[in-house]
Amino acid sequence: MKTSNTKLLVLALVLGSFLNVSSVSAQSFGGFNLGDAKKILNGAKDAAIEAAKEANRLRLEFEKKRADEAKRAEEARRQQEQNDQRQATVTEDDSSTEIVSQRPVQAPVYRPKVQEQSANRSPVVNNSLVVISDTVDANVTYILLNIEKDNYKEQVVLTAKDGSYAHNLYLRDGAGLYDIKIFLNRSAQKYGEGASYLYSRTISVENRDHRDMSFLLPSLMVESDSEQITSLVKNLTKDAANEEEALKKIHAYIIKTVKYDWDAFKDGSYVNNPFNALAVLNKPLAVCAGYANLFAAMARAAGIRTKVIYGKAKINTGWYDHAWNEVFINDQWEVVDSTWNVDRRDNKYYFMDEATFAIDHKKEKEMTEY
């Protein structure tokens, strides 16, 4: 067989080369001339070397092309990140600055059109207010805004509606640069273990409002900018001679109108109800947090600095979670516990002195994000 002869030929060549027997190459073997066979093998060897060189050249060329494409993709990604972080669409009117997107996307994208901005400058506001709005995927349920400035931190959770959201974000830590990180949640869970917020992007806004606006600004829980609340306060306090009289009228309205939600307190359902000011105004049934939020909203609508305080209150022999207010009036802070003044004729817990108040109240936290 020809194949068998070829194998024998190759074996003979190998043996001849190994044993240095020159006579083998001069003989015919199995019908083949060994000298011609060596030429054939050498030619095949040269062809194999050339093929290997060509394959290596093609491999290097492919790897270089792939590296160039990866480099271009990385440069494009970095450029997009720089653009996204620098740029925000900001339009200014008499009362606010608005950040909006220019096209529907899966996650917020901001494009610049600002009052004052250079290539390396953040959008600028002069009134501590930024209105943030955008379109999102239809399956996005909640949006988390994580606001940071120096040591100040605040979180705001918004609800997406029909693939979009909008929010008046008040920059409540005064002048300076704020970083706002945006996270998107596609789960049905707003809080807790089931909630899953994925980072989307960061925008930065410079606030140049140097006024002291502490405990005067609205929030999600204290909607002192709501037209419903401002109109009510204006009507209630129209005959008040000063802030102290205005505050008394606000306090009197709340303790007369809002009833304590004993059912929610007893069954524990109050923990799932934020009792924000506007909700309590529309449905005047609340636990202590609702009283405190509504009082703060109405007092701030009247231009009076008001804190929401969280702490403990003593009932019988135990201490329980509680909320109340502090108001800045006549150049000093005064305590007001409107919850505990309900059904009391003496308004004992209105402007009570600090030492007496501390007998059954322990202050733990000023809700600066409220």
Q: Return the pLDDT at 216.
A: 97
Of 365, 29, 322, 186, give the one whose Cα is nearest residue 14: 29
Each residue of 11-42: pLDDT tens digit? Answer: 444 444 444 444 444 444 445 455 665 666 66
- Is the CB of residue 174 less than 8 Å from the CB of residue 212? yes
DSSP character for 23? G
For residues 100-127, give the mean pLDDT.
48
Which residues partner with 32 through β-bridges?
29
Confidence of residue 345 (pLDDT cuts 50, 70, 90): confident
Query: What pLDDT score was predicted for residue 318?
Result: 93
Q: In what order do the strands lie in the sheet with 361-366?
A: 350-352, 332-336, 318-329, 306-315, 361-366
Q: How many Cα atoms occupy the beta-carbon half-sphere of 213 within 13 Å? A: 21
pLDDT at 94: 39
Residues 236-253: tens digit of each pLDDT: 999 999 999 999 999 999
Q: What percent of the chain has pLDDT over 90?
A: 59
> How do 97-100 and 129-135 pair as beta strands?
parallel
Residue 292 pLDDT exceeds 80: yes
- Cβ–Cβ < 8 Å for 145, 180: yes
Measured distance between the N- and C-terminal CA atoms of the chain, rounded to whole angstroms:
96
The reported pLDDT for the residue numbered 12 is: 45
Given a cut of 90, whether residue 297 has pLDDT beyond it is yes
pLDDT for the residue numbered 115: 39
What percent of the chain shows pLDDT beyond 70? 73
Of the ranges 41-55, 234-248, 333-347, which one carries the lowest mean pLDDT score?
A: 41-55
Of 110-124, 127-141, 147-161, 313-327, least confident by mean pLDDT is 110-124
Question: Whole-angstrom Cα distance, residue 202 to residue 132?
Answer: 13
Write down the pLDDT at residue 260. 95
Q: What is the pLDDT of residue 307?
A: 98
Q: Indicate whether this model's pTM tops 0.85.
A: no
- On the question of pLDDT at 105 being above 70, the answer is no
Confidence label for 269 from pLDDT (cuts 50, 70 and 90): confident
Residue 274 and residue 184: Cα distance in Å, rounded? 21
Greatest mean pLDDT range, 56-60, 89-93, 264-268 = 264-268
Q: Which residue has the higher pLDDT, 219 or 61?
A: 219
List Cα–Cα distances, 14 to 20, 23, 45, 67, in angstroms. Answer: 10, 13, 14, 44
Q: Which of 74, 134, 136, 70 is nearest to 102 (CA)?
A: 134
Q: What is the mean pLDDT of the chain?
A: 81
